[in-house]
Amino acid sequence: MTTLLIDAGHGPETAGKRSPDGLLREFSFNSAVADLVKQFLIEEGFTVIFAHKAQEDVPLTTRIKLANSLTVDAFVSIHANAFGNDWNSANGIETFVYPTASKASIALASLVQSALITACNRTDRGVKKANYAVLRETRIPAILIECGFMTNREEAALLMRKAYRLQCARAIAHALSTWIYRGKK
């Protein structure tokens, strides 16, 4: 049985995680997409566990401990990006893996990145390496997805739209399904 751990990055009250005008809180995007991804994956017969909670900020250490204590096939953290605190031109979608990531993590990140670019028609910022705690400290394939910039007016508007959230969720779920069916490679 395939089990996936989905993380709506940060939490509902995490300071600073919002658009410059305050209209978009990152967790509202992250959790909406996570809910949709879960729905799509359950329809495919997968088991989905959340690393986040709707009403509280779950510390990174708790999320990591959960990932390492469960028998799951992958950890997927969903985010909206930001560059600074003011509106700017930074834009696009990128997916992160740890610098010494497993082949399985890199394969998953590549599938997710490709699916998101195809589905959302945004700038392809590529698969990148980063020393994020949820990537560094998990002992299973792990990726962190940035679905657009909250500090870009056009993308902030997209991140608030149900249709865009649905596009992102379908792409992520499709890529996860493909990765599983290909034998996690």
Write out pLDDT tens, residues 130-161.
999 999 999 999 999 999 999 999 999 999 99
The predicted structure's pLDDT at residue 185: 76
> Can you give the pTM of this predicted structure?
0.97
**Predicted local confidence at residue 40, as pLDDT:** 98
d(CA 23, CA 30): 15
Q: For residues 113 and 30, what is the distance between their CA atoms, to the nearest angstrom?
A: 16
> What's the pLDDT score for residue 11?
82
Res. 184 pLDDT band, cuts 50 70 90: confident
**Model confidence at 16: pLDDT above 90:** no
Q: Which two tokens stand for residue 185?
A: 């490679």
pLDDT at residue 10 is higher than 90: no
Q: What pLDDT shows up at residue 8?
A: 96
Model confidence pLDDT, tens digit, residues 72-85: 999 999 999 999 99
Q: pLDDT tens-digit profile of 94-120?
A: 999 999 999 999 999 999 999 999 999
CA 176, 74, 92 angle in degrees (round to 5)? 55
84 Cβ contact list (under 8 Å, min separation 6): 151
Higher pLDDT, 12 or 129: 129
- CB-based burial of residue 47 (10 Å sphere; 0-12 exposed, 13-18 middle, 19+ buried)? middle
| Confidence band of 15 (pLDDT split at 50, 70, 90) | confident
- Tell me the pLDDT of the chain averaged across its residues: 96
Q: How far is residue 60 from each of residues 1, 51, 156, 178, measured CA to CA in Å? A: 26, 9, 25, 28
